[in-house]
Amino acid sequence: MIERDHPALSIGAQYRLLSISRSSFFYEPVGETEMNLGLMRRIDRQLLDTPFYGVRQMTWHLQTKAIP
């Protein structure tokens, strides 16, 4: 996609032609933290038990279980 050694186009010109920003090209996604994965697992388990919980009830449930 981007050729660093292109003879006629600079890297900046190639970004402009492709309509992408330099930061999005160099961005490397970071995985989820272990704490976040644990929280998502807990929410998934609770939703299987109580699928009718909305945001407020789920928040209340997590807070009563001492999860910040």
pLDDT of res. 52? 94
Sequence ranges of the domains in the chain: 1-30, 31-68
The tokens for 67 are 């999860």
pLDDT of res. 57? 93
pLDDT in tens, the chain (68 residues): 777 778 888 888 888 888 888 787 777 889 999 989 988 999 999 999 999 999 999 999 888 886 66
